[in-house]
Structure 1
Amino acid sequence: MPSESERLIPGIRKDIVLDPSSEIPGFIASELEQRELLQDNTYTDLECTNSVADGEPVSWTRTNVVVGSMSLSIFLAAVDSTIITTLIGDMSAEFDSLDKLSWIASSYLLSSATFQPLYGKISDIFGRRALLLLANVLFLVGCLVCALAPNVLALILGRFISGVGGGGLTTMTSITTSDLIPLKSRGIYQGINNLAFASGSGVGSLVGGYFVSNRILGGWRGAFLMQVPITVLSTVSIHMLLKLPKGSPGLGVHGVDVMNKLRLIDWYGSFTLVITLLSFLTLTSLETDKILTVKGTSLLLVFITFLVIFIIAEKRAKFPILPLEFLRIRTVLGASLSNFFFCMSSFNSYFIITIYYTAVMNLTPQQVGYRFAPNFFSIVLGSLGAGYYMRSTGKYYKLLLLSGLLAVFGTWRIVTITPDYPVWAQFFLLITPGFGISVIITATLLALIAAVPHEHQAATTSISYLFRSCGSTLGVSFGSAIFQHRLYSSLHHNVMQFLGHGHDEQELLAIIAKASHSSEYVHGDAPSFITDALVQSYDTSCKLSFQFCLLSCVAGLLSMLLIKEYVLHGTLDRK
């Protein structure tokens, strides 16, 4: 029975170098296998940095300073992704552009998810430092454009540019850390990066609110302006201190001028991938009733067309921007799918549980925030704990399965929530799935990187982030669609029962319209006679969306069965 590597690497002649005691390929043949794995996707016909001397030994202190600088970049990118929530009201008021509200809010996330997958393969050509600096500069320019925006279109453009840079900061930090840290210790540093991202996401809205409330540096403009000097500090630190070890693939292609490096980029694949993701993410962000309109249908046709063109382009490209052959490796496929499904569940559950707390339990935004706070610590503990476990044991498969079961159990507990759920239990509700999924995100990244030779880790990391982004987006889109569809039918059923009991059809239809568009209406302006019916509708609708989250977790757990246990080496050369 041929092994996985034998099926993927047909060109190895294992009969040449055999261990006489076992008649299986020896160390040399094993090394040849790694060299030839997906050989069409590497720059083997060029002089690469595996043979140059511009790399140098990297000290522990320098490494940690660089990782700290990159974590600062991740923190800023996370802050910028959530800071908009408390700034958007003042922005739309200043520019009198309520109709552009959704674009102001979504342009950052849209561009971040779209351009994120491009960084990995391009950094194999130009080197990690160049792409890290580019991401920092784009992020900085985007913040400046936002701070100085004379109109709403300039503001949207600034958010879009910031997203291109912010997505690169997240991806390139992960890729570069893998070039600096051996796999066995890699999980700890990923935990630190996750801590930076979670912290930034958590304080983003607070920072925005502080600047707006106190009118510091022009209010909302100051919130963007304050990110500029911090980004400059991170950029300078990376430029001065980032040194990769000798022979690292992160040093880029050597002995080739800039024009020839540009020719190595898969422009056709890059363009079609960007259009594919832009159309896909825009389509999934539409409201349910707009998907079958001309706009929605057009986006769907664009998505399908460019997806087909992208797949064809990647199969023909000499150096594809996103090598699809990697998905033939079962661990890469399993890790990517598990990321997709668990992110789908996680993001949707966070979104819907907020609605449940507000509409069903009548909690204020501040009270909801308090119930989310313990989840932050569980995510940090899960990420760092997974890192320390993998460093001490060199294993990850059993940890993944256990964490997957934990995530399924925790999501099942969310499904069982009731309006009279104990207050103390509400604070612990998100801890279990949050802990499990944070372990999964950390461990699957290491499993994915360990499954391919080190020179391919940038491309596989990009694949991982692509699946995460798509899973997060689809999770919220599908979960919201399920919720909204059930909510409307449930509201119509529950509210129209009052017809003929002193309430006419026009009044009840107005209540349905208001309740279906605002969860705050339930305990706010809704007539008291209808409150219980509205609460019941929101309760059943949220439960159905939670069940979708549970099914996603189960799919993620089943995807893990594809993952194989690989050695987590304690050295960068994996020996």
Structure 2
Amino acid sequence: MTEPTPKLVSETSPLIGTSQNAPAESHITAGQHPEEEITIPENVWYIVASLWTSSFLSAADTTIVSTTANTIASAMNGSDKITWIATSYLLTNAIFQPLVGKISDVYGRRTTLLCAQFWFIIGCFFCAISRTVTDFAIARALAGIGGGGMSALSSIIVTDVIPLRLRGMFQGYANLVYGTGQFLGPVIGSIFITWSEKSGWRWMFGIQVPLVLCTSFLVFKNVHEFRFNGEELMKNRFKRGNIRRIDLPGSFLLACFIVSILTLFSATSKLQVHLSLVGAFFSLLAFFLVEKFIVEEHIIPPAAFRGILRVAALVALFGTMAVYSLNFIIPLYIQIVHDFSSLQVGIFNAFGVFASALGSMIAGWCLKEKKHTRADVVVKKAVNVSIASCLALCAGTFVCMFIMRTLKPTLFRKDINYLKIAFLVFGFTLESVGYGSFLVSLLILVVGEVGISHQATVTGMNYMFRSMGSVSGVGISLGVYNMILYKELYHYFIVKGKANGKEILSKLFNNSFYIRSGLPSIYVHKVLKIYRTSLGDSSTMVFMMGCTALILSLLMRLYKVGPRRHTSIA
């Protein structure tokens, strides 16, 4: 009897389960298991261009809001609700991104991506016609459903067609495109706001609708199922029983927990604090019970949240908390405390955007390997790059915190201290380089750890922790800012009995531009110092988040990665 040919293993052989005796397909190297080798499709650049166009628009949409949130809130007399403008989009991102990987496994990559683009279009349309801050926040939440799916699926589909040894470079290219979108977002936003402060922001959302429709056409034409046995997987994808494979109860309860935490840090009374704590406790308890005893497949698969994968997820969580917090706090700081124009805020933000793209390219270059490199070698290198990235992130947040706490407020725009602002730019740039770098290194780490069969699940989980970090980081930092600001302004105007204190306090919370266009001059300097103190205290919280990410990244060195764990060959 002829002995069977020994089965070859590669970088993509999964550690969490292994399929046996699968037939070969045309896009797989002859004689090998379909997971052993990924042959890059001939039209790969058409595929990635279709995906990156969606990512570009999603990135531009994100930074448009981060630098114009204050203007939008003030235009609708809702500056006190700015936290929800910032977090509503991020919240639905956090809820739906972990589901995207599983949904695309069940219903197909292209179908899921087209659905995500549909929700993004709906959200942008309703943003353009919003009449109140509440309407706008709901519309942003709808857009977040689509935006999260567009980002995660872009990474998942590229991983389907690009081998691990080249994955870092392609992720670097993707982040460069994403960074360009983030750079152009504030520029486009400032152009529309400069054109019309009252209605310009409506047009900057409305114009995205036809643009995303064009990207949907590109996706429909170029993106298909590139997984092994994809046609067979798609035959019964719409069976009623497949819905049980998607953890909707767990996602809902996780969303309730995140909302409770956000409400806790934006609470203005003891009753709200108590209700938030109760809501957080019971939603977390219910989430544990549902995941333990009820659902068949989990939003966070236990096998994908162990060892180094767990630490990597927590690094992504706290690192993203720090970065997104700064992305919202610093624009507020330079706009309110130093009277930067919308255009100047956009230019400032551009340094961080391109620094993030540069960090991604550096990490991708560092992680690029030749053929026949073991996956454990790539994973080890990804750990080292992650540590260096978190060190840069932590150092950058410290510089930003120091400048924000010590630089005196600017009464007149002509008196801006650009030398010290340059140090703030340096810190923001350093932090962004670190962030862009660890985005790539952590993604390569988790894909190398579990293999191609489970990459959609772990990629979705990685994006989930990043989304949870973004929404909780922004919510906590802005919540701390609002809490301290309210306390200090209330003490200054109400407790000290200033003339027309209640009226002034109300106007300040409804429209921060009132400081320089209506507030009596005798109060301006003191109020600016209060804003500086509030934002500075919030930046201290950001620095603590960055330190936590650095400490966790060092813990990854405790996990030994060697050929016994990673026998796959790239």
Q: TM-score range by the shorter chain?
A: 0.7 to 0.9
Q: Take 2:118 and 2:486, find their aligned partners in 1: how far apart are those partners? A: 46
Offset, 1:146: 6.4
Matched AA of 1:123: S
Q: Match for 2:340: what amino acid? A: L
Q: Secondary structure at the match of 1:362?
A: coil
Residue 277 of structure 1: how far off its partner (Å) = 0.9
Q: Deviations over 1:283-313 (max 9, x none)?
A: 515773347546x766654554343333333
> Which residue of structure 1 lines up, in the alignment, with residue 342 of structure 2?
365
1:470 aligns with 2:448: no
Is the 8 Å Cα contact of residues 90 and 467 (structure 2) preserved in structure 1?
A: no
Gap change, CA 1:292 and 1:491, over 3 Å in 2: closer
* Greater relative CO (CA pairs within 8 A, separation 6+): 2
CA offset digits 1:434-474 (Å, max 9, x no partner): 11121112211111221213211111111111111111122
1:75 to 48, 56, 59: 56
Tell me whether 1:419 sits opposite 2:397 in the alignment.
Answer: no
Match of 1:4 in 2: none
Q: SS at the partner of 1:540?
A: helix
2: CA distance between counterparts of 1:240 and 1:480? 42
* Alignment partner of 1:345 is 2:326: no
1:446 aligned residue: 444
The Cα of 1:481 is off from its aligned counterpart by 2.9
Name the SS of the counterpart of 1:319 in structure 2.
coil
479-488 or 297-306, which moves further after superposition? 297-306
Structure 1 counterpart of 2:391, from 405, 409, 413 = 405
Aligned counterpart, 1:378: 355
**Given the alignment, which residue of 180, 187, 197 partners 2:168?**
187
Query: Which one is further off, 185-194 or 281-290?
Result: 281-290
Amino acid at match of 1:553: G
CA contact (8 A) 2:194 2:200 kept: yes
Give the direction of change, closer, same or farther, for the CA distance of 1:534–1:352 in structure 2 (3 Å limit): same
Corresponding residue number in structure 2 for 1:117: 98
Paired with 1:516 and 1:223, the residues of 2 have a C-alpha distance of 25
Q: CA deviation at 1:167?
A: 1.6
Query: Which one-letter code corresponds to 2:58 in the other structure?
Result: A
2:117 corresponding residue in structure 1: 136
Amino-acid identity (%): 27
**Bigger shift: residues 558-567 or 153-162:** 153-162
Conserved in 2, the CA contact under 8 Å of 1:55 and 1:243? no
Counterpart CA distance in 2 for 1:30 and 1:99 is 57
Partner of 1:20: none
Quote how far apart the aligned CAs of 1:80 are: 3.6
The DSSP-based 3-state class of the residue aligned with 2:394 is: helix
Structure-1 residue corresponding to 2:483: 485
Whether 2:555 is the aligned partner of 1:562: answer yes
1:460 equivalent in alignment to 2:448: no
Deviation of 1:155 after TM superposition, in Å, equals 7.7
Could you tell me which residue of structure 2 aligns to residue 327 of structure 1?
Answer: 305
Kindly state the Cα deviation for residue 505 of structure 1 after the two structures are TM-superposed: 3.9
Deviation of the 1:185 alpha carbon: 1.6
Larger Rg: 1
Q: 1:533 aligns with which of 513, 523, 526?
A: 526
- Could you give the per-residue CA deviations for residues 256-277 of structure 1, whole angstroms, max 9, x where no partner exists? 52354x4134367323313431
In structure 1, stretches of 5+ residues that fail to align are 1-26
C-alpha distance 370-457 of structure 1, shift in aligned 2 (>3 A) = same
Q: Deviations over 1:80-120 (max 9, x none)?
A: 445567699899989x9999998787654443332221111
CA distance in 2, matches of 1:532, 1:54: 71
Deviation digits for residues 28-50 of structure 1, max 9, x if unmatched?
7999x966x555xx9x7xx99x5
Q: Is the 8 A contact 2:114 2:219 kept in 1?
A: yes
Letter in 2 for 1:119: V
**How big is each residue's C-alpha offset from its partner over 1:190-248, in whole Å with a ceiling of 9 and x where there is no partner?**
22322333333443455466568879xx9777655543443343333333333555637
SS at match of 1:258: coil
Cα pair distance change 1:101/1:407, threshold 3 Å: closer
Cross-structure match for 1:271 = 249
Matched residue SS, 2:120: helix
User: Could you tell me whether the CA contact under 8 Å between 1:314 and 1:323 is conserved in 2?
Assistant: no
Shift in CA distance, 519/178, structure 1 to aligned 2, threshold 3 Å: same
Amino acid paired to 2:159: S
Q: Which runs of 5+ in 2 are unaligned?
A: 1-5, 29-37, 370-376, 409-418
Single out whichever of 272-281 and 335-344 deviates more from structure 2.
272-281
Query: In structure 1, the residue corresponding to 2:339 is in which secondary structure?
Result: coil
- Alpha-carbon distance change, 89 to 567 in structure 1, aligned in 2, over 3 angstroms: same
Task: Show CA shifts across 1:369-400 (max 9, x none).
Answer: 33222222211111111111111594222222
Distance 1:509 1:137 in 2: 45
> Which amino acid letter does the alignment assign opposite residue 555 of structure 1?
T
Distance 2:277 2:298 in 1: 24
Identify which range, 300-309 or 127-136, moves more after superposition: 300-309
Q: How do residues 4-153 of structure 1 correspond to structure 2 at under 5 angstroms?
A: 37-39=15-17, 51=23, 53=25, 59=40, 61-83=42-64, 107-143=88-124
Q: Which moved more, 1:435-444 or 1:411-420?
A: 411-420
Contact 2:56 2:181 in 1 (8 A): yes
* 2:400 partner letter: I
Aligned residues of 1:279 and 1:299 also touching (Cα < 8 A) = no
Matched residue type, 2:250: T
CA-CA distance at 1:72 after TM superposition: 0.6
Residue in 2 that maps onto 1:178:
159
Q: Tell me the CA shift for residue 556 of structure 1.
A: 0.3
In the alignment, which residue of structure 2 is the partner of 1:254?
A: 233
Distance 2:104 2:541 in 1: 37
Query: How many Å separate the matches in 1 of 2:531 and 2:193?
Result: 33
Q: Is the 8 A contact 2:187 2:347 kept in 1?
A: no
Structure 2 residue aligned with 1:549: 542
SS at match of 1:247: coil
Asked if structure 1 preserves the Cα contact closer than 8 Å seen for 2:116 and 2:147, the reply is yes
Matched residue type, 2:237: V
> 1:545-574, CA deviations, whole angstroms, 9 ceiling, x for partnerless residues?
222111111100111123257589xxxx85
- Give the Cα–Cα distance (whole angstroms) in 2 for the partners of residues 276 and 246 of structure 1: 30
CA–CA distance in 1 between the matches of 2:473 and 2:86? 18
CA distance in structure 2 between the aligned counterparts of 1:276 and 1:337, rounded to whole angstroms: 16
* 8 A contact 1:126–1:252 mirrored in 2: no
Aligned to 2:414: none
Distance 1:173 1:336 in 2: 19
1:363 counterpart SS class: coil
Q: CA deviation at 1:252?
A: 7.8
> Would you say the 8 A contact 2:91–2:471 is kept in 1?
no
Paired residue type of 1:274: F
* Separation in 1, partners of 2:186, 2:433: 23
**Shift in Å, 1:430:** 1.0
Retained in 1: the 8 A contact 2:25–2:228?
A: yes
Cα pair distance change 1:30/1:434, threshold 3 Å: same
Evaluate the alpha carbon distance shift between residue 357 and residue 233 of structure 1 in structure 2; reply closer, same or farther with a 3 A threshold: closer
Cα distance in 1 for residues equivalent to 2:494 and 2:200: 46
Report the counterpart of residue 24 of structure 1 in structure 2.
Answer: none
Structure 2 match to 1:233: 214
Structure-1 separation of matches of 2:63 and 2:478: 19
More displaced, 545-554 or 228-237? 228-237
Alignment of 1:148-159 (within 5 A): 159=140
User: Amino acid of the residue matched to residue 247 of structure 1?
Assistant: F
